[in-house]
Structure 1
Amino acid sequence: MRFSVNALATIALELQSGIGHQDRFQRLITTLRQVLGCDASALLRYEARQFIPLAIDGLAQDVLGRRFTLEGHPRLEAIARAGDVVRFPADSDLPDPYDGLIPGHENFHVHACVGLPLFAGQNLIGALTLDGMSPDQFDAFSDEALRLIAALAAGALNNALLIEKLESQNLMPRAPGAFEPQPGSQMIGLSPGMTQLKKEIDIVAASDLNVLIDGETGTGKELVAKALHEGSPRAVNSLVYLNCAALPESVAESELFGHVKGAFTGAISNRSGKFEMADNGTLFLDEIGELSLALQAKLLRVLQYGDIQRVGDDRSIRVDVRVLAATNRDLREEVLAGRFRADLFHRLSVFPLSVPPLRERGDDVILLAGYFCEQSRLRLGLSRVVLNPAARAALLAYPWPGNVRELEHAIYRAVVLARAAVAGDDVVLTPEHFSFADQPPASAAAVTAAPGTAAVKPLREATEDFQRSQIAAALAAHQQNWAASARALGMDVANLHRLAKRLGMKA
């Protein structure tokens, strides 16, 4: 069967109209699903031996957060290698990456599957996948007709990638022969806050400005630092990491600036510090607010003059280092309280970036959950890991005080629990697999106001009551030990202190 001229014209128009690539691609696959009678369709970008979903229709929302590696998905590997239309037989023994991910068909396997690899010249840049629940769903469409669709989609995707590359180059002009940006870190999210953060990263990455990254513990500040480094000319050199909160005061100066033999007891040889290791590269100072005032003064000198002194050495060493700093504290308040130097704060915060907490990112929770489901599937060697609709609703309703890190741990724990309860390697996550879903959303304080009428608290107030009760119970069970209580609650101890303060449980 050939496509009608009207059908092809409609597809071409969908690819040409609209101002954003995301909107354009979404309309493309929605149109394809209608024209071909698919149950599901997806447009994927190919990068670093994995397919990254750009737009989906008829698939669960968490698919947008998944990353499909060739090694973990033999059907997608077959599409990548084929160079032409791929039709998988209904009885193919290759697992389908979308099994359980078509809403309303979670317990059924996909029967009809067509893959269209997308090329720019000889280079694979993406794929279109078309899926249906009926084995003969695409038999009426010829390979020639499907190749036309692939050609249109490949042209649109290639143009989008070229425009994206030009835009990133125009944000900060580079010298001839300069570096090419590396593939971006896994910063998953389509919420307004994350979209704005990605734009700001693109703007400042190629510069040499110091950047201060602030955000709650577990929001992904390390990924922001990695993206800044990978998008800079320094990407060809090292990104050196140092957690200032984990530094004992006695060795902090040596860790930063190095030492010479005999500088102190135990200094049996010369040793380079993090600044020397990061020369011509980037130094990421995590939890910068934990540095002592004395070390802050020495760090300020390096930022001002570009030289360091090893502990026990009178000589200066020139270094060329870009400093990225991160904190979960409000450094402005720390400056006012005299715990952080104002001059260092202004040196570091030339271009501040703020990472939004997960509770403010809306549906990004589901995208991230999909990503962690896929990572768990690969790590544990499972055939599939999917979330049922009730589990997605539970994830969206939870406030995630531990942010993305808490979500990652929750998904992995849920997968381990679900796997233990089934005989095979097919895992479907339900609310019962998540510990936070075992509790009612409100505390026992919700009482009857009048006969037959229940007093309903505002959701935020009820949630805070429940959080107070859980924190109090954890502290009572662990003899008021905050670190042990935080572990029992599945969250970072710094976040627990912050949450307890916000809830009025700490002075």
Structure 2
Amino acid sequence: MTRVESTTGAVTLTATDLLDALLRLVQDLSRDLSGSERYRRLLTTLRELFSGDAAALLRLDGDMLVPLAIDGLTSDTLGRRFRVGDHPRFLALLARREPTRFPADSGLPDPYDGLVEGVSGDLEVHDCLGCPLYINGRPWGLLTLDALDPERFDSVDMSLLQAFLSLAAATVSVAERIDTLARNTEEERQRAEAYRQATGPRVREIIGSSTAHRQLLDEIRTVANSDLTVLITGETGVGKELVANAIHAGSPRADKALISLNCAALPDTLVESELFGHVRGAFSGASSDRRGKFELADGGTLLLDEVGELPLGVQAKLLRMLQNGQLQRIGSDSEHKVDVRLIAATNRDLAEEVRSGRFRADLYHRLSVYPLRVPPLRERGRDVLLLAGFFLEENRARLGLLSIRLATDAQSALLSYHWPGNVRELEHMIGRSAFKALSRHRERPRILTLTALDLGISTTHASVAPQRAANQAGPDDADAPGDFRSSVIAFERSLVSGAMERHDNNWAAVARALGMDRANLNRLAKRLGLK
């Protein structure tokens, strides 16, 4: 690439440079590339042409800007969701159709401060360009370019940048159309939107880019557009409820209700009433007729969470209802039909529960028409950094900070940690660590950096829990032989035991400390022989 150097020493882009770059991108439009690869090449070209330190492509999704591709920013940036109203620079960029450059002394905080890759300390972005992208006349998102040198973009010709933007918009449009044809994305978006309108609060996105994550999304898309009964399995905290929400949102029933019942959160005497309802006088305290979850979910979807906790008597009645589709309230002689798509979720091995006589084999086969395993966080590689970025941005907004970032040792610790509590543990860890790190500052910092010490994870002993409960084990335990499952059980036992000692066997306090539901903790303790 031929560059012209100005008398001030700044590198100036020539029309020939731009033409060469545009030709490469035009050629890419006719190639069979994934959307992510198209976006990566776009950002690489942008940085080459205009000599930036970092670039990002963000899609506008309601009031959120979602990073689709980054170049020169930390990995966790991809997991962040930037609420436009929280970031004045993004508001300013979206308010104009032309490229905008912010002066080096601008008082508007930059969302990427502290997120430039390979920069130590709290060095902030000093030169910033941003450009809105329009597809079919409507705002689609933003293309941003940042530099640490406050004079880096002095020589940028805005007309050449505008020409580049036109091709960037074409690249985005091609990627969008290919994705729409391949996955019928627009139909799924409309269904998800209808679900959000019907059920109120916005459904959390399932974030990740690993092979295991993509396989999970493929399975969700495969089974969503059917009425098959789905059995979602996975460890505590992996996000089984999020998967159930995604299945419902992508189904033809998305405009109807998704009703959930946590089978472990109710006494055995109330589970049947919650499922099937009752009539007045059916039992002591039944002062009026009451519809059960099946009736409330009529036309929609019913999620039975922790289905492995159902008593055997209720299992028999549930099986009968699933076989004939007829519902009978407690205390009533009449039956009526309901149209419900059933999704069940459990962290238990139901096949083993069947062998041990704690779960009916016929019900198990009824529920597992389409078994779907949610992988634990330790199998998802660098997804942990994307998820961390999502939780960091949530906590940044909650704490009113400009930016929260992860130090290099914190990223390494997150990647090497075993994650017995999975995504839920990560969420609690990020929230707790951000609050503790902030409390140590006498003055509120512009950029809060979390270290491995803040997270409570040792980079040299990745299996050590934040509470250091594993230190309760014997000195030879770390090198003791054994299969993977035995090691996990030993770790869980030491973790719970340590928490019990610190909280004087107060189970409510132990559950809070471990970030677990108390009923789940009780079951875990029984399985580990601690209760």
Confirm or deny a common fold (TM above 0.5): yes
Partner residue in 2 for 1:96:
110
SS at 1:234 equivalent = coil
Partner residue in 2 for 1:40:
54
**Cα deviation digits, residues 310-343 of structure 1 (max 9, x gap):** 1111111221111111000111111122222222
**Cα deviation digits, residues 343-386 of structure 1 (max 9, x gap):** 22222222111111011111111111111000001112222111
| Amino acid of the structure 2 residue aligned with 1:158 | S
| Amino acid of the structure 2 residue aligned with 1:89 | P
**Cα deviation digits, residues 103-161 of structure 1 (max 9, x gap):** 23341121111112111112222221111112232232222222222222222222322
Deviation of the 1:60 alpha carbon: 0.3
SS at 1:181 equivalent = helix
Matched, 1:56 2:89: no
Q: 2:191 aligns with which of 181, 187, 190?
A: 181
Alpha-carbon spacing, 1:97–1:398, altered in 2? closer, same or farther (3 Å)? same
Q: 2:499 aligns with which of 466, 470, 474?
A: 474
Partner residue in 2 for 1:75:
89
**Cα deviation digits, residues 381-421 of structure 1 (max 9, x gap):** 22211111111111112111000000000000001011111
Matched, 1:373 2:392: yes
Q: 1:125 aligns with which of 109, 126, 140?
A: 140
Alpha-carbon spacing, 1:416–1:303, altered in 2? closer, same or farther (3 Å)? same
Partner residue in 2 for 1:405:
424
SS at 1:280 equivalent = coil
Q: Which range moved further: 215-224 or 468-477?
A: 468-477
2-side partners of 1:432 and 1:458: how far apart? 29
Partner residue in 2 for 1:111:
126
Alpha-carbon spacing, 1:134–1:179, altered in 2? closer, same or farther (3 Å)? closer
SS at 2:85 equivalent = coil
Contact 2:377/2:419 (8 A) holds in 1: yes
2-side partners of 1:474 and 1:159: how far apart? 54
1-side partners of 2:523 and 2:280: how far apart? 42
Alpha-carbon spacing, 1:21–1:333, altered in 2? closer, same or farther (3 Å)? same
**Cα deviation digits, residues 156-213 of structure 1 (max 9, x gap):** 2223223323333399xx9xxx993326741011111111000111111121111111
2-side partners of 1:67 and 1:390: how far apart? 23
Alpha-carbon spacing, 1:495–1:439, altered in 2? closer, same or farther (3 Å)? farther
| Amino acid of the structure 1 residue aligned with 2:180 | K
Alpha-carbon spacing, 1:463–1:294, altered in 2? closer, same or farther (3 Å)? closer
Matched, 1:196 2:231: no
| Runs of 5+ unmatched residues, structure 1 | 448-454
Deviation of the 1:45 alpha carbon: 1.5
Deviation of the 1:97 alpha carbon: 0.8
Alpha-carbon spacing, 1:286–1:312, altered in 2? closer, same or farther (3 Å)? same
Alpha-carbon spacing, 1:496–1:250, altered in 2? closer, same or farther (3 Å)? closer
Partner residue in 1 for 2:361:
342
Deviation of the 1:470 alpha carbon: 5.0
Partner residue in 2 for 1:147:
162
Equivalences for residues 107-506 of structure 1 within 5 A: 107-169=122-184, 180-182=190-192, 185-422=204-441, 423-426=443-446, 427-437=448-458, 470-478=495-503, 484-485=509-510, 487-490=512-515
| Amino acid of the structure 1 residue aligned with 2:265 | A
1-side partners of 2:498 and 2:24: how far apart? 61
2-side partners of 1:170 and 1:305: how far apart? 35
| Amino acid of the structure 1 residue aligned with 2:450 | L
Contact 1:179/1:236 (8 A) holds in 2: no
Contact 1:241/1:285 (8 A) holds in 2: yes
TM-score (norm 2): 0.85
Deviation of the 1:478 alpha carbon: 4.7
Deviation of the 1:481 alpha carbon: 6.3
Contact 1:258/1:273 (8 A) holds in 2: yes
1-side partners of 2:134 and 2:487: how far apart? 53
**Cα deviation digits, residues 439-459 of structure 1 (max 9, x gap):** 955869779xxxxxxx98999
1-side partners of 2:490 and 2:364: how far apart? 37
SS at 2:86 equivalent = coil
Partner residue in 2 for 1:451:
none
Root-mean-square deviation (CA), in Å? 3.1
| Amino acid of the structure 1 residue aligned with 2:301 | T
Contact 1:213/1:355 (8 A) holds in 2: yes
Alpha-carbon spacing, 1:243–1:495, altered in 2? closer, same or farther (3 Å)? closer
Alpha-carbon spacing, 1:27–1:304, altered in 2? closer, same or farther (3 Å)? same
Deviation of the 1:284 alpha carbon: 0.9
Q: Which range moved further: 216-225 or 313-322?
A: 313-322
| Amino acid of the structure 2 residue aligned with 1:434 | L
Q: Figure out how many residues of one structure are paired with residues of the other and give that number.
A: 494
SS at 1:256 equivalent = helix
1-side partners of 2:30 and 2:439: how far apart? 50
| Amino acid of the structure 2 residue aligned with 1:83 | R
Alpha-carbon spacing, 1:312–1:505, altered in 2? closer, same or farther (3 Å)? closer
Partner residue in 1 for 2:43:
29
1-side partners of 2:145 and 2:225: how far apart? 39
2-side partners of 1:468 and 1:275: how far apart? 38
2-side partners of 1:267 and 1:462: how far apart? 48
SS at 1:338 equivalent = coil
SS at 1:159 equivalent = helix
2-side partners of 1:55 and 1:291: how far apart? 45
Q: Which range moved further: 61-70 or 3-12?
A: 3-12
SS at 2:39 equivalent = helix
1-side partners of 2:162 and 2:290: how far apart? 61
Deviation of the 1:247 alpha carbon: 1.7
| Runs of 5+ unmatched residues, structure 2 | 1-12, 194-202, 465-470
2-side partners of 1:212 and 1:77: how far apart? 43
Deviation of the 1:275 alpha carbon: 0.9
2-side partners of 1:501 and 1:262: how far apart? 37
